[in-house]
């Protein structure tokens, strides 16, 4: 089987009944095949850059049916196990159903990874064997895992919401639709996060049980059909947008059709809208990541990884050895970081060009306005340039919004910075699948890196968190975990290239942004003062109109300059404010202080006594670095590109 490409896959979770009726199998297979084809058509585009992963714990019935169909349609399989495989196999002993165990083994052999759920609190292997309630807790754990990692859940379910079995289909569907209750998660952070909330594709499925009221397979509306049903088609959405615009102009409340929807329908609509937005980001990233598949792209990836391990100071561990350790512990993470970093740099350049173009057009319009009254012979030409300047502003802004220059830059930079932390954490054994102490992340040891990501800005940064979670899931089958735990080499690499490197970065960048802010502010004040207190007195006292009543050339120039200078000062100050130079300088200075303190606290070498303390520092640094990146994104999102005011 070919390894997964360096892309972000779409993960489809599976839950459903075990006791399917034989006569329904062909219809169910057709329904699932149509769903997978629909997801690929509506959300993944036509380039085939986005892989599909189906998550199924391979219980008989629905789990295996969806796994079989998905594999036949080119998907990859991840098979999370509710308990150790040898124990789980007891549920599929040959004597219970002919071919049951053989089918399980055949599907399991095709899985790229089969993560095993750790035992729930108080559970043991012996307890799971003899106590059905304890065994159900493990099925709940695997249901939680699937709900958390799946972008969308396929549920082959009869719709009986009264069923309350722990780990049953009804409960897993509720996890996906409404989030994990506090009583189940045992974690305030996990329940508040709600990143597992998403859409459910319900395949109405009869059961063998005589009590089942469902007698026919059907598939209710899902995906874009739900959005069309509740939001209308393109014309209706356009009309709603016009109505909202008019209401805002008149200062009235805009019409809100979804407020009349029942809560359940409103949540379903929002879930599919969010899924569509996240799928679009993933599709966009994968399309751009595909450009790195060639030789030139691979060289760019290598250069970006090399840049992580460059240093002005003499290193304790050579860059080549540091890079080798990073690739050993997380080759996929390194490559994905390099791709995200390279794309972020490209879109950052485009983002800066947009701002420069906007303010250049604004200056042109302002200059033409200042010259208009002084050069009447050129008035028509200046008027045309004035209009062209304003038109240029709106063209640049519209182009930037349509192409999402700023959004791509922010999303890719946020992903790259989170992946940087993930790479060093993996080298240090933090968040590893074999990490024993998971209390640091308020999680059960699965998806530790993603669970450490900030939850304050879930709407803006959900894509980054989901990407981290998916990469952790995929990497379990990548064979790149290697040795875990904090050792002397990993400590030396992280201390020098991460901690000291980030200290140097934040120090230089903070100083640079502070100086830019001071320079722009000082020059703005100077230009503002020059006009009324220097140039205007010169015009009044030392120049006079020519004998024919017209202004002299010097007087005309000074009058134009006196009008331009305050405008230029205003443009400079607004440019500084729009790019949040001062806010970024403060942010960078705070991070400089943090990493400087870490440089002082981390010992050059570690032993059994200092290793736990060093690892705790690395944990805090990683969480603070991800929080800083999230706040940095928030600063820019509050300042979208728009015409100058």
Pair 174, 200: CB distance under 8 Å: no
> What confidence tier does 448 reach under pLDDT thresholds 50, 70, 90?
confident
Instruction: Report the run of H or E that residue 201 belongs to, with start and end.
Output: strand 200-204
Check whether 442 has a pLDDT greater than 50.
no
What average pLDDT score do residues 405-431 get? 91
pLDDT at position 57 is: 96
Pair 453, 464: CB distance under 8 Å: yes
User: Minimal CA–CA distance to 167: which of 83, 108, 84?
Assistant: 83
pLDDT at position 219 is: 95
Check whether 395 has a pLDDT greater than 70.
yes
Judged on CB neighbours under 10 Å (0-12, 13-18, 19+), 505 is middle
* CA distances (Å), origin 171, targets 75, 137, 160, 378: 26, 12, 11, 75
Q: Where are the domains of the chain?
A: 10-222, 226-273, 294-515+579-637
pLDDT over 70 percentage in the chain: 87
Alpha helices in 373-432 (DSSP H): 379-403, 405-428
Tell me the range of 205-214, 231-240, 588-597 where mean pLDDT is highest.
588-597
Check whether 479 has a pLDDT greater than 50.
no
Most distant CA pair in the chain: distance in Å? Answer: 116
Mean pLDDT lowest for which of 239-253, 375-389, 494-508?
Answer: 239-253
Cα(427)–Cα(217) distance, integer angstroms: 49
pLDDT at position 630 is: 86
Q: Which fold has domain 10-222?
A: Rossmann fold (3.40.50)
What average pLDDT score do residues 630-634 get? 84
Pair 195, 149: CB distance under 8 Å: no
Check whether 419 has a pLDDT greater than 60.
yes
Cα(119)–Cα(84) distance, integer angstroms: 9
User: Minimal CA–CA distance to 639: which of 569, 572, 586, 574?
Assistant: 574
Check whether 246 has a pLDDT greater than 70.
yes
Reported pTM: 0.86
pLDDT at position 531 is: 67
> What confidence tier does 456 reach under pLDDT thresholds 50, 70, 90?
low
Cα(542)–Cα(546) distance, integer angstroms: 13
pLDDT at position 413 is: 93
Secondary structure (DSSP) of 100-126 = HHHHHHHHHTTEEE-PBPPPPTT--HH
Report which of residues 394 and 561 the model is more confident about: 394
What average pLDDT score do residues 582-589 get? 84
pLDDT at position 337 is: 95
pLDDT at position 13 is: 97
The three-class DSSP label of residue 555 is: helix
Check whether 177 has a pLDDT greater than 70.
yes
Cα(505)–Cα(587) distance, integer angstroms: 12
User: Minimal CA–CA distance to 453: which of 407, 429, 419?
Assistant: 419
pLDDT at position 441 is: 42
pLDDT over 90 percentage in the chain: 45
Mean pLDDT lowest for which of 423-432, 488-497, 549-558, 580-589?
Answer: 549-558
> What confidence tier does 210 reach under pLDDT thresholds 50, 70, 90?
low
Cα(346)–Cα(333) distance, integer angstroms: 20
> What confidence tier does 480 reach under pLDDT thresholds 50, 70, 90?
very low
pLDDT at position 433 is: 46
Mean pLDDT lowest for which of 235-239, 533-537, 563-567?
Answer: 533-537
Mean pLDDT lowest for which of 291-300, 322-331, 374-383, 592-601?
Answer: 374-383
> What confidence tier does 450 reach under pLDDT thresholds 50, 70, 90?
confident
Check whether 147 has a pLDDT greater than 90.
yes
> What confidence tier does 438 reach under pLDDT thresholds 50, 70, 90?
very low
Cα(527)–Cα(522) distance, integer angstroms: 9
Cα(488)–Cα(541) distance, integer angstroms: 76
Mean pLDDT lowest for which of 157-161, 210-214, 286-290?
Answer: 210-214
User: Minimal CA–CA distance to 153: which of 260, 246, 239, 272?
Assistant: 272
Q: How many CB atoms lie within 10 A of CB 384?
A: 11
Give me the sheet containing 52-55, strands edge to edge. Answer: 111-113, 76-78, 52-55, 10-16, 152-157, 200-204
Q: What is the mean pLDDT of the chain?
A: 84
Check whether 478 has a pLDDT greater than 50.
no
CA angle, residues 268, 270, 276, in degrees to nearest 5? 105
Mean pLDDT lowest for which of 189-193, 301-305, 464-468?
Answer: 189-193
Check whether 481 has a pLDDT greater than 60.
no
Contacts of 14 (CB under 8 A, 6+ apart): 54, 55, 56, 57, 62, 63, 66, 67, 146, 153, 154, 156
Cα(280)–Cα(274) distance, integer angstroms: 10
């Amino acid at each position: 089987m070919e390894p997964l490409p360096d892309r972000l896959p779409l993960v489809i979770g599976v839950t459903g009944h075990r006791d399917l009726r034989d006569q329904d199998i062909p219809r169910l297979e057709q329904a699932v095949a149509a769903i997978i084809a629909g997801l690929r058509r509506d959300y993944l585009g036509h380039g085939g850059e986005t892989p599909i992963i189906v998550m199924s714990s391979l219980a008989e019935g629905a789990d295996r049916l969806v796994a079989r169909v998905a594999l036949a349609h080119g998907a990859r399989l991840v098979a999370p196990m509710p308990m150790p495989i040898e124990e789980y196999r007891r549920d599929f002993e040959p004597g219970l159903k002919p071919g049951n165990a053989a089918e399980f083994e055949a599907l399991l052999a095709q899985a790229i990874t089969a993560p095993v759920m750790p035992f729930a609190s108080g559970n043991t292997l012996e307890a799971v064997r003899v106590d059905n309630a304890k065994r159900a807790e493990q099925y709940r754990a695997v249901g939680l895992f699937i709900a958390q990692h799946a972008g969308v859940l396929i549920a082959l379910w009869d719709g009986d919401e009264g069923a309350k079995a722990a780990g049953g289909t009804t409960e897993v569907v509720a996890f996906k639709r409404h989030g994990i209750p506090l009583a189940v998660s045992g974690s305030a952070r996990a329940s508040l996060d709600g990143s597992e909330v998403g859409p459910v594709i319900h395949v109405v499925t009869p059961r063998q049980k005589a009590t089942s009221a469902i007698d026919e397979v059907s598939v209710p509306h899902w995906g874009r059909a739900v959005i069309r049903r509740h939001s209308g088609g393109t014309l209706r959405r356009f009309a709603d947008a016009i109505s909202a615009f008019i209401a805002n102009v008149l200062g009235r409340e805009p019409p809100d059709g979804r407020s009349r929807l029942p809560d359940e329908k409103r949540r379903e609509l929002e879930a599919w809208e969010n899924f569509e937005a996240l799928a679009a980001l993933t599709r966009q990233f994968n399309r751009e990541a595909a450009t790195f598949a060639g030789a030139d792209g691979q060289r760019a990836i290598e250069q970006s990884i090399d840049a992580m391990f460059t240093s002005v100071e003499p290193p304790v561990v050579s860059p080549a050895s540091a890079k080798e350790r990073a690739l050993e512990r997380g080759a996929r993470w390194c490559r994905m970081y390099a791709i995200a970093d390279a794309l972020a740099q490209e879109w950052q350049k485009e983002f800066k060009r947009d701002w420069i173009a906007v303010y250049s057009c604004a200056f042109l319009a302002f200059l033409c306005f200042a010259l208009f009254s002084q050069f009447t012979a050129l008035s028509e030409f200046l008027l045309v340039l004035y209009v062209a300047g304003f038109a240029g502003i709106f063209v640049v802004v519209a182009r930037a919004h349509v192409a999402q220059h700023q959004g791509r830059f922010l999303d890719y930079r946020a992903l790259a910075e989170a992946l940087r932390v993930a790479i060093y954490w993996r080298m240090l054994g933090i968040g590893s699948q074999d990490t024993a102490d998971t209390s640091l992340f308020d999680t059960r040891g699965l998806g530790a890196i993603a669970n450490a990501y900030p939850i304050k800005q879930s709407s803006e940064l959900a894509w980054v968190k989901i990407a981290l979670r998916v990469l952790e899931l995929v990497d379990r089958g990548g064979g790149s975990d290697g040795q875990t735990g904090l050792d002397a080499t990993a400590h030396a690499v992280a201390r020098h290239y991460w901690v000291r490197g980030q200290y140097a970065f934040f120090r230089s960048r903070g100083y640079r942004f502070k100086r830019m802010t001071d320079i722009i502010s000082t020059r703005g004040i100077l230009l503002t003062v020059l006009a009324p207190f220097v140039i205007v007195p010169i015009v009044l006292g030392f120049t006079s109109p020519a004998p024919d009543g017209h202004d002299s050339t010097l007087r005309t120039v000074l009058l134009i300059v006196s009008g331009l200078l305050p405008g230029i000062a205003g443009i400079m100050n607004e440019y500084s404010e729009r790019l949040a130079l001062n806010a970024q300088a403060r942010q960078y200075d705070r991070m400089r202080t943090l990493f400087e303190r870490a440089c002082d606290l981390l010992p050059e070498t570690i032993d059994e006594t200092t290793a736990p303390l060093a690892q705790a520092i690395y944990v805090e640094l990683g969480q603070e670095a991800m929080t800083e990146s999230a706040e940095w994104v928030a600063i820019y999102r509050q300042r979208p590109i728009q015409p100058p005011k």
